[in-house]
Chains A and B, each alone.
Chain A
Amino acid sequence: MTIPLLDVQHLSVDFATRNGTVRAIDDISLVVGKGETLGIVGESGSGKSVTSYAVMRILDRAGRIAGGRITYGGMALHKARERDMRDIRGREISMVFQNPRAALNPIRRIGQQVADVLVQHSQATRGNAREKAVEMLRAVKIRDPEQRYDAYPFELSGGMCQRVVIAIALACRPRLLIADEPTTGLDVTTQKAVMDLIVDLTREYDMSTILITHDLGLAAAYCDRLVVMEKGRIVEANGSAELFHGAREAYTRQLLQATPRIDSEVRDLLPAALRATAMPLPETHDVGEPLLTVKGLKKQFGKPGADNGHLAVQDLSFTIREGESLGLVGESGCGKSTTSAMVMRLLDTTGGAIEFLGEDIAAIPAAKFAAHPLRGKLQMVFQDPTDSLNPRWSAAQSIGDPLQRLASHMNRQQREARILELAALVGLPVNLLDRFPHQLSGGQKARVGIARAIALDPRLLILDEPTAALDVSVQAIVLNLLEDLKHRLGMSYLFISHDLNVVRLLCDRIMVMQNGAIVEEGNARQLLAAPATDYTRTLLAAIPHPPQAAAND
C-alpha cells in the first residue's frame, strides 16, 4: 500500500435525537489504498453506512461530524465546503445504494438520470449527453441501451435498476466507489452478476472500492481487506483471508460462526457458550405418515379463463410427512410464496387438492377457513417479524390472539398460563410480554411470532423466510430455536427460502422451484452435493464462497 486514496482518522459522528446526542460513529480510522477493495462488515446499527455518508458528507440534517479527519487525495473532506463537495461527489467518489428501485427517480427516464450526472460534472454537453449516457448504459451491460435510455425505473427489474445506479455512479469515472449493501434484496444469481460487474468495472477503471455489507461471506469473497464494525466502533481490521483464518476478536469470531457455510450444522452457528448448553439433537429422526399431500396445485392470476392469465403455480405436487421438514427454494417470483399462501389457506386455489390430516382443505374457501377446526393445526411463521405483529398490540396480546379465537375451551387464567408457557418455550423473557412491537428487538419479535404460531400446537408450520430480515447472529439463534421446537413438539416444517444454505440447515428434503414448477427435489445433502439440474447448480454457484475457513472451535 502506498499513499492511501482515502484516509479516515479518528472519525466520530453524532446524531441529535430527542434523547440528546447519540454517537453513531466513535473514533474510527480506516484507509483505502489505490485500486484496493475494502469491505466494511457489520450488523444493523453498527454504523457502517453512517461511515460512508460521513465520507460523502451526505449525513442528514440531524447528523454531524463530531471529530476526526477525512482526507481524500490530500483534500480534507471533513471541512470542505458544500460546493467543493458537490464536485467531488460523483466525480471523485461515488456511491451505490441498496434497494436500487428506490434509488432512482421514479418519474425520470433512466438515461436522463445518467446524463444529469455527466452534464453536472462537465463530462458531457447537452449535445452529446445522450450518446455518452448510452455508452455508459452499455458499459454496465444493459441490453439495447439506446432504447433503454428512455425507460423509466419501474419498467426495469431490480437487477437492471442496480446496473443503472452503477452507471450513474461510474459515469464520471470516479476514483473511489462506495457500494452500500449493493445486492441486498436481490436474488442470489442477480447478486453475483451485479457484484461481478462492479468488480470488473472498478478493475477496468482502476478504481478503489469500499463494499459495505452485513454479509461476511460476500465481503470476504470480493474484498482485499475487511473492517468489522460493531456499535459505531471498529472491532477488527485485517486482510480477508487473515480475518477468516484468524479472527482475533470474540465478536468477529461469533459473526464468522453465525454465517452459514456449505458444511455447517445448525448448532455450529451458535456461539460456543450457547452451543454448550443447547439440548443435544438426535442424530436421526423418524418420519411418519403423510401429513400434507398436495396434488396438482395450480394458481392463475388475472381473470379465470383469460388467456393472458399468469400461471403462478403450475401443477405442483408434494408430500410432507409427520415430523419431516421440507425446504422449498427458489428465486423471487418463482411461486413459492403463492404456494405457501395456498397451503396456508390464505389464498384460494385455481386447481388441485391439498390434503391435510385426511381432509381436502383446498375445497374450503380461504375466507371460511378461519373458523375451521383445522385452522389451529396449520400455522405459519412470517418473513418479517416487525410487519407480522400488530403495532398496537402487546406481545402477550399477539400470542394470546389465536388462543382467544380458536381455543374456546380456555378461560382467562388458562390462557394466561399458556402464554407464559409459550413465552418460556420460545425463550421470551416474561417481562417483555407487556411490550409493544416497537419496543422489542428483531430477535424478540421473531420469538413472539413463533410463540403465536405454535400456540395451538400446530402439526404443520410453514416457515416463510423466517430469518430473511434478521442479522446473522440473530438468525443463528432463531434457526436453532426452530430446530429445538421441531423436536420438542414433533411438528413438521415447510421451510420456504431463497437461501439454499439456510434451508439445508433445517430440512431433510429440498424442492427447488422455478417459474411455478419444481425443477428438482431430493434429500438435502444429496441435492446440494450433487445437483441434478443446471438451475440448481447455478443457484449453488452464485452463493459467495469466502476463503476456506480455518476458524473452527
Chain B
Amino acid sequence: MTSMTPGSTVASATAPTRPRSSYWSHLKYVMSENPVTGLAFGLFALIILAALFGPYLVPHDPLATGVGAALQPPSLAHWFGTDHLGRDVFSRVVVATRLDLLISVSAVAISFVVGSVIGSLAGYFGGWTDRITGRLVDTIMAFPLFVLAMGIVAAAGNTVENIVYATAIINLPFYARMARAEVSIRRNVGYVQAARLSGNSELRVLFGHIFPNIMPPMMVQISLNMGWAILNAAGLSFIGLGVQPPSPEWGIMVAEGANFIISGEWWLVIFPGLALMLAVFTFNLIGDGLRDLVDPQRRT
C-alpha cells in the first residue's frame, strides 16, 4: 500500500487479502474451536428436517388413537411407547416439531420486526419518541412476562395465533431495548455522519446504514428467544392455556405427561421433554455460537 502513487491508477497491491469466503472460514474456525456450537448446528439441522419432513416419515398418524394399546412402555412397535389414548408417542413427538417451530419462529419474527423498529426509532430520534416507547416497553416489562402472556391468552382465547401474539408481545421489550441501545451508540459514528453527508434521509440512514449493523447482536437475541418462546408455549399448555388438543405439541405433551410421572408412565413425559429440551438447548447454544461468530473481539 505504501508503494502507491497518489493519483495513479496502477497499483501493485500488497494489500491484505481476505478471501470472500472468510465468513465461512470463520464459521469453521468457531466450530472447530467450540465443538458444542458445532453440535448445536447439527441439532438445528435435525430439528429443521423434522419440522419439514416429520409428518411424512413417522410410522403412525400422530392423531390416531388406539394404534396400540393405551399406556404401553417403549417397544419395537412403538419406540416411545403409547399414551393414554393409545397414540404413538414417537410420531407425536416428531410431528410436534413443526407446530412448535411455527409458534416460536412466528412469535419471534413478529417481536423482532416490531420491537426492533420501535427500538431503532427510539434510539435514533431520542426525545419524545424515546420517552413514549420507553414507557411502553417499561409497562410491558413491569409485568412478570409469563403472567402477561397468560393474561393475553386467557383474554383473547387460546388459539395458536393468540399464543403467538402473546409470546411476541412479551418478547418485544427485549428487541426494543436492544435495538435502542445498539442504535443509540451508533447514532453519531463516522459512517452514519458520512451517510448524512451523502444525502441520505434520516430514515434511510437508520434503516439503510445503522440497522444492518445491529443485526448480529439481534441474531443472538433471536436465537435465545426461540428457545424461550417454546418454553413459554409449554408453560401455557401446563396451565391449560396452550395449544388445542389433539394437536401434537411438546409443551402440552409434557404438561399432560407430567401427571403420569408419579404413576410410573415416564415415557409420556421424558420423550417430549427431551425433544423440548433439545430444541431449547439447540437454540440457546446457537445463540452462544452466533455470539462468538459475530463478536468482533473474537474475530482475528
Interface set, chain A 378-408, CB cutoff 8 A to B = 379-380, 382-384, 386-392, 398, 401-402, 405-406
Give chain A residues whose Cβ lies under 8 Å from the Cβ of B213.
390-392
Q: How many residue-residue contacts, CB under 8 A, span A and B?
A: 130
Contact of A402 among B1, B190, B198, B300 (CB under 8 A): B198
Residues of B within 8 A of A427 (CB): 4-9, 11
Would you call B29 and A18 a contact (CB within 8 A)? Answer: yes
Interface residues of A in 299-342 (CB under 8 A from B): none
**Of A274, A384, A390, A432, which is in contact with the most chain B CB atoms at under 10 Å from its CB?**
A390
Least Cβ–Cβ distance between B280 and chain A, in angstroms: 30
Nearest chain A CB to B183 CB, angstrom units:
14
Binds A, one of B13-21, B79-87, B149-157, B223-231: B13-21
B102 CB, nearest partner CB in chain A, Å: 30
Partner of A277, one of B8, B194, B199: B8
Query: B300 contacts which chain A residues (CB < 8 A)?
Result: 17-19
Q: Contacts A371-B199, A406-B198 given: A480-B6 contact, CB under 8 Å? A: yes
CB of A484 closer than 8 Å to a CB of B? yes
Task: Provide the residues of chain A in CB contact with B212, threshold 8 Å.
Answer: 390, 392
B202 proximity list for chain A (CB < 8 A): 367, 370
CB neighbours (8 Å) of B7 from chain A are 279, 425-427, 481, 484-485, 488
- How far apart are B104's CB and chain A's nearest CB, in angstroms? 27
Q: Footprint of A on B, CB under 8 Å?
A: 1-9, 11, 13, 15-18, 22, 25-26, 29, 33, 189-191, 193-202, 204, 209, 212-213, 299-300
A64 at the interface (CB under 8 A from B): no
Contact B200 A405 (CB under 8 A): yes
| A438 partner residues in chain B, CB cutoff 8 A | 18, 299
B5 touches A278 (CB 8 A): yes
- B13 (CB) vs chain A CBs: closest residue: A429
> Would you give 13 A-B contacts (Cβ < 8 Å), ordered by A?
A18-B300, A278-B6, A380-B197, A387-B191, A388-B190, A401-B195, A424-B9, A431-B13, A438-B18, A452-B198, A477-B4, A484-B7, A485-B7
Question: Cβ of A441: which chain B residues have Cβ within 8 Å of it?
Answer: 1, 15-16
Can you add 9 more A-B contacts, CB < 8 Å, to A370-B199, A371-B199, A441-B15?
A346-B196, A370-B202, A388-B191, A427-B9, A428-B11, A439-B18, A440-B16, A444-B15, A481-B7
Residues of A within 8 A of B4 (CB): 427, 429, 443, 477
A449 at the interface (CB under 8 A from B): yes
Bound-complex Cα distance A75 to B116 (A): 58
> Is the CB of A474 closer than 8 A to any CB of chain B?
yes
Q: Is A494 an interface residue (CB 8 A)?
A: no
**When the two chains form their complex, are residues A402 and B197 in contact, meaning their CB atoms are under 8 A apart?**
yes
Contact A379 B197 (CB under 8 A): yes
Assess A388 versus B200: contact at CB under 8 Å? Given A431-B13, A481-B7, A484-B6: no
In the complex, what residues of A have CB within 8 A of residue B9's CB?
A: 424, 427
Q: How large is the interface on A (under 10, 10 to 19, 20 to 34, 35 or more residues)?
A: 35 or more
- Most chain A beta-carbon contacts within 10 A, residue among B4, B33, B197: B197
For A386, list chain B residues within 8 Å (CB). Answer: 190
Q: Does A90 contact B (CB under 8 A)?
A: no
A159 on the interface (CB 8 Å rule)? no
Q: Are A375 and B197 touching (Cβ within 8 A)?
A: yes
User: Closest 3 CB pairs between A and B?
Assistant: A388-B190, A402-B198, A405-B199
Residues of B within 8 A of A392 (CB): 212-213
Closest residue of chain A to B7, judged by CB? A484
Q: Which of B2, B15, B196, B209 contacts A429 (CB 8 A)?
A: B15
Q: Which of A346, A391, A439 contacts B193 (CB 8 A)?
A: A346
Q: Which of B3, B13, B194, B199 contacts A375 (CB 8 A)?
A: B199
